[in-house]
């Protein structure tokens, strides 16, 4: 089912001395079933805010989001692991019926041997990989990835891009992928660029004509 994002108006309230800000004004976006859409744009334009609205975490806007499907896999910009659970036990939360699969996921993200490590003992890149595995492990119908390959060295970044690409090819979740780097958008069918204030879509283009038509 097509996801229709219609944000008539989104205002961020005043914060820390900054005045209220109209973030979005008449922003509409349609995502076809299984489409992978990259979102690019300058820092502070509203990419993370858009994901939070689509995820239903921010409902303080005028407009509507229709066609959403559960479950949603969401990789936030910060890992947001539960600090009192080990890496394995964080992953088990996403796998209530198959907790044994947590070990497979840790192997796939290169963290075999770190099962019993707590989040504060992980590097940021390691914690982000656990968070990525958690987002994929729920087998989401809607996958929201906020800069999934940040804080990773080049080799690990490529491995994680391959992991996401194979998962997306296999299960075809509708995907929004926020990134600052075009090469990280390689798995996307389409890229939208946000610009201006309030933010609007300044460019919307297919990335791989052949793949988009699959
Ligand atoms: N809860 C909030 N209340 C008020 N302002 C907010 C809130 N959340 C974000 N903002 C502001 O909204 C703007 C957009 O933030 P957002 O994090 O969505 O941008 P972004 O495009 O994802 O940036 P980056 O690429 O740096 O991650 C920023 O100016 C930010 O300070």
Q: What is the CATH number of domain 3-85+123-212?
A: 3.40.50.300
Report pLDDT for 114.
Answer: 92
Q: Is the pLDDT of residue 198 over 60?
A: yes
Q: Is the CB of 15 under 6 A from ligand 1?
A: yes
**Nearest partner of 50 among 154, 178, 151, 150, judged by Cα:** 178
Annotated domain spans of the chain = 3-85+123-212
Q: Is the beta carbon of 161 within 6 A of some atom in ligand 1?
A: no
Residue 214, pLDDT above cutoff 70: no
Residue 101 CA to ligand 1 center (angstroms) comes to 35
User: Residue with the nearest Cα to atom 25 of ligand 1?
Assistant: 43
Reduce the secondary structure of 106-160 to three states and give it as a string. Answer: HHHCCCCCCCCCCHHHCCHHHHHHHHHHHHHHCCCCEEEEECCCCCCCHHHHHHH
**Nearest-CA residue for atom 17 of ligand 1:** 48
What pLDDT sits at residue 2?
Answer: 93
Band (pLDDT 50/70/90 cuts) for residue 18 is confident
Q: Is 187 exposed, middle or buried (0-12, 13-18, 19+ CB in 10 A)?
A: buried
pLDDT surpasses 60 at 211: no
Cα of 12 to ligand 1 centre, how many Å?
8
Q: What is the pLDDT of residues 140-185, one digit of tens each?
A: 999 999 999 988 999 999 999 999 999 999 999 999 999 988 888 8
Please tell me if the CB atom of residue 49 comes closer than 6 angstroms to any atom of ligand 1. yes
ipTM tops 0.90: yes
Confidence grade of residue 212 (pLDDT, cut at 50, 70, 90): very low
210 pLDDT higher than 80: no
User: How many residues are given for the chain?
Assistant: 214
pLDDT at 185: 87
Q: Which atom of ligand 1 is nearest to the CA of 52?
A: 18
Q: Which residue has the tokens 């922003």?
A: 27
Q: How far is the CA of 195 from the centre of ligand 1 (A)?
A: 14
- Cα distances (Å, whole numbers) of residue 206 to 103, 165, 172, 193, 210: 37, 17, 17, 12, 9
Question: What pLDDT does 1 receive?
Answer: 84
* 3 state DSSP class of 98: coil
| 17 token code pair | 């001395």
Q: What is the mean pLDDT of residues 119-139?
A: 95
Task: Give 37's strand partners.
Answer: 176, 190
């Amino acid at each position: 089912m097509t996801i229709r994002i219609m944000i008539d108006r989104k205002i961020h309230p005043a914060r820390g001395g900054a005045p209220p800000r109209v973030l979005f004004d008449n922003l509409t976006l349609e995502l076809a079933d299984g489409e992978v859409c990259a979102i690019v744009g300058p820092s502070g334009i509203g990419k993370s805010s858009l994901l939070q609205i689509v995820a239903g975490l921010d409902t303080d806007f005028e407009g509507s989001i229709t066609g959403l499907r559960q479950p949603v896999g969401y990789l936030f910009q910060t890992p947001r692991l539960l600090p009192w659970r080990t890496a394995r036990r964080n992953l088990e939360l996403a796998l209530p019926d198959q907790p044994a699969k947590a070990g497979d996921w840790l192997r796939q993200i290169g963290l075999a041997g770190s099962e019993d490590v707590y989040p504060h003992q992980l590097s940021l890149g390691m914690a982000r990989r656990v968070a990525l595995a958690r987002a994929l492990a729920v087998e989401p119908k809607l996958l929201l990835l906020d800069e999934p390959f940040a804080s990773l060295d080049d080799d690990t970044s490529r491995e994680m891009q391959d992991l996401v690409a194979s998962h997306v090819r296999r299960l075809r979740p509708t995907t929004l992928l926020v990134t600052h780097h075009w090469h990280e958008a390689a798995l996307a069918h389409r890229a939208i660029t946000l610009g201006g204030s309030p933010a609007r879509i300044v460019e919307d283009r297919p990335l791989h004509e052949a793949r988009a038509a699959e």
